A and B are shown apart, each in its own frame.
Chain A
Amino acid sequence: MGDYYVPAKYLLNKIVDAEILVAPFITAKTIELGSKYSPEFVCTPFKYTLGTMIESLDNGANILIQFGGGCRYGYYSELQEQILKDLGYKFELLNLITNGKANIKRIYKMIKRIDKNFNVFKGLYYFFITIKMVKYMDKIDDYIRKNIGFEINKSSFSNLKKEMLEKFASVNNPFSLYILYKKYFKRFKKIKINKSKNCLKVGIIGELYTLMEPFSNYYLERELAKFNIELKRFTNVTYLLLKYKKVNKKALKKSKEYMKYQFSADASSNVYWTKYLCDKKYDGIIHIKSSFCTPEIGVMPILDKIANEKNVPMIHFSFDSNTSEVGIKTRLEAFYDMIEMRRK
């Protein structure tokens, strides 16, 4: 998912003595493979992850790791295991989260099975560093998202980020990580940008996988940056790992007039974020999801209602494995023209 393979690989490399294969970047072939063996109307992340699994198995992996989650994510692993076994692969699939809970005992047993010399304290130590790393990455990503649309020298942000991630991967203790983070944050701030004070601001909300995996939303953020727009996105791994419960509680409190009960997955936070973005006078909201995403579909009418009442334009994108890229570009351009016209 996005750049998060860096901390994941870092953690596994440090705690277990095994060869780690990073899953290949998603390509059109991955999707084709994935949708070929997927059930008919499953949501799109299933197809992507299945495709990636098949490709990594072909590359010689024999242990796959899958994260469960809320809604349908949690049940992916069992069906994927069955599909891959029917295809004749031999492997082991480790599901870290079952029944919506991370079972620490189970995870410990799994790691013990891979590597017999596993040390708990060492594992916890590196887990702590990884969490810190993800936090710093998300902070820097937030800054990049705000300013990437206004860079003067093209791809100066992305080049610096690449360099930073490489440095991050060779860190050994939390202090040097912190120093690196400070250093790179300064360098990011020094990058020349041409940003006016009343630039267009757009918030992106939606379903987590589609938001965080740039290939699955056809590099929507990159396209948006070309229009000189400041972007705001809430969903990231920090939110999912650490803030999920807190944000959901806050969402229920702050948007009482629109919802009484908590929705599953990210739907209730999306209601809150929509209200937040409207109140902060953003120029537009983009809601993206994979097709057939049940929680988001249920909540979409409510999001529309909020945006309507507060008079903020909102556009919905639903990505499937065979959505055409040109259609999305056209709709984005039209959306951009509209919010620009409203400004005038």
Chain B
Amino acid sequence: MSMALETESRKLPLHDEHLRKGARMGDFGGWLVPLFYTSIVDEHTAVRCKAGLFDISHMGELLVEGPGALNFLEKNLPRRVAPVKLYQAIYMPLVNDRGGMVDDIIVYRMAESRFLIIVNAGNIEKDFQWFKSRAPDGVTVTNISESMGLLALQGPLSREILAEAFGAYYRDLKRFYYLDFEGGIIARTGYTGEDGYEIMVPMHKLKAIWDVLFRVGGKKGLVPVGFGARDTLRLEAAMPLYGHELNDTLTPLEAGLEWALDLSKDQFPGSKVLKAQKREGLSQKRIGFEMIDRGIPRQDCEVRKDGRLVGKVTSGSFIPTTGKSIGMAYVEACEAGVGNVLEVMIRDRAAKAAIVSLPFYKRKV
């Protein structure tokens, strides 16, 4: 068996706490993060059936503010920001001039002219420079990633746990809304396909919030969840991950994110490319597939149709709760129909897979 060597990774603010809880640590984009505490299988199941708490403090936070902030974002983001109300948030890709994706982000309106943007850990510097280099006078962009910690409470019991921990006030938040909390926010958002909340607080308060949630949630079945299950949960919910389904050359249309764009908007970086692509049709599309033959698909596996290369896997895994092996891939648009049977090349062997509709998992409301 071969194993990767330890690399020099940054530690999370709750690193010692993760070790105390028995975490197996591993690298994720330059961060030393908990891969799992007990097992990916148990943690995946806990989030689907009860509740799980994730430390996602590696993620980045940018503040865009100043008199021209709204106008600046309207000009540079692919989705209208003006209709986003105070205490509301909106998801979208960040698009470059070529129509590719710089990142995917959530924009929170904190005040008339003040916006919080949560970005992917691996893209903090890139996104910061992207906003900063475009910001006109009167708009400041600040990277507050170092001072903010982020927890995600996810699962069907998260609403009850949150209310007991911090008061009923937070319970009835609508999805993609947030409330002020301890110098940060609690938002009803997540990356698991379950109901849940993301809690951003100043770093020095993170441990206390983590402890309160376990004190209240522990007896209800709340468990700490590592990045292993975070990946299987988001994959099952068909949520794209930067570096897998999203990158600087793929477009949001190819990624199936047209719902997160306002193509009717005047102009934004990449808008011409995207409008043309929409008019002319896509050459490739993101799809989801389920393995028919035995085998676990992984990123970069070739996808073939009758032996002809038609695409590439971007994410794949065995899903513990269903026992199925699933994946997402980009394939030629003409082969992207649901039900189409393709071959995924796993270690030089063609294993049959069928395209299925996304998401793989949808929670019962």
Q: Do A and B bind each other?
A: no
B residues near A, CB below 8 A?
A: none
A residues near B, CB below 8 A?
A: none
